[in-house]
């Protein structure tokens, strides 16, 4: 069995190898299922630490909500596959990852998608040389709001990466 340090997990696994890391828990599953509280608590701490690292990366902007959501969903699928006959293990993982988180993230992803589309429309119009006033009129939005978005977006010209623009706008409280 491979025992990976959490530092390694921070760097590589959260984005690329999370399913493989979950297999490192598999040796503990029978003990958790049999009610061994020492092993259960160790699993709970390690799995919680992994989930907390993921949340930390989301909160500080190193991953977006869509990536976070995708990793959570993938993790749930891997855990489900590994624990088909181990209800205690599945329950422990569900306590940490929870269904309410997924529902909330789905709503956030939807709102981010809308905002992303809105930014793309604005950037397309900016790249055509349109003014704040014209863009605001065409999109039926307040000029102040459009101007604030355009000022940030212009820092990302000519590529206009909507995800980066959205991050900066969120950081400034504009969207």
Summarize pLDDT for 84-115 with one digit per residue, the tens: 888 887 787 777 776 545 556 667 777 788 88
Query: pLDDT tens digits, residue range 61-73?
Result: 777 777 777 777 7
Long-range contacts of 58-65 (CB under 8 A, 24+ apart): 61/167, 61/171, 63/14, 63/15, 64/112, 64/163, 64/167, 65/105, 65/108, 65/109, 65/112
Flag whether pLDDT at 12 surpasses 60: no
pLDDT top residue among 120 and 4:
120
Contacts by 5-11, CB closer than 8 A, 24 or more apart? 6/49, 6/50, 6/53, 9/50, 9/53, 10/53
Q: Which range, of 35-44, 97-106, 107-116, 153-162, averages the lowest pLDDT?
A: 97-106
CA–CA separation, 149 and 23 (whole Å):
45
3-state secondary structure 46-70: HHHHHHHHHHHHHHCCCCCHHHHHH
| pTM of the shown model | 0.52
Give the Cβ contact number of residue 31 at 10 Å. Answer: 17
Residue 129 confidence (pLDDT) above 80: yes
Contact between 30 and 83 (Cβ < 8 Å): no
- Closest by CA position to 47, among listed 85, 98, 81, 92: 92
pLDDT given for residue 142 in this prediction? 94
């Amino acid at each position: 069995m491979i025992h990976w340090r959490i530092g390694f997990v921070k760097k590589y696994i959260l984005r690329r190898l999370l399913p493989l890391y979950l297999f490192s828990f598999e040796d503990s599953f029978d003990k958790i299922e049999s009610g061994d509280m020492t092993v259960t608590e160790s699993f709970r701490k390690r799995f919680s630490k992994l989930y907390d690292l993921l949340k930390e990366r989301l909160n500080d902007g190193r991953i977006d909500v869509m990536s976070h959501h995708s990793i959570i969903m993938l993790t749930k699928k891997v855990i489900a596959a590994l624990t088909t006959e181990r209800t205690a293990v599945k329950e422990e993982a569900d306590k940490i990852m929870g269904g309410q988180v997924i529902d909330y993230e789905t709503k956030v992803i939807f709102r981010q998608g809308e905002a992303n589309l809105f930014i793309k429309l604005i950037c397309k119009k900016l790249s055509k040389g349109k003014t704040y006033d014209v863009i605001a009129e065409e999109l039926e939005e307040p000029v102040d709001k459009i101007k604030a978005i355009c000022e940030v977006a212009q820092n990302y010209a000519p590529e206009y990466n909507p995800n980066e623009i959205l991050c900066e706008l969120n950081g400034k409280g504009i969207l």
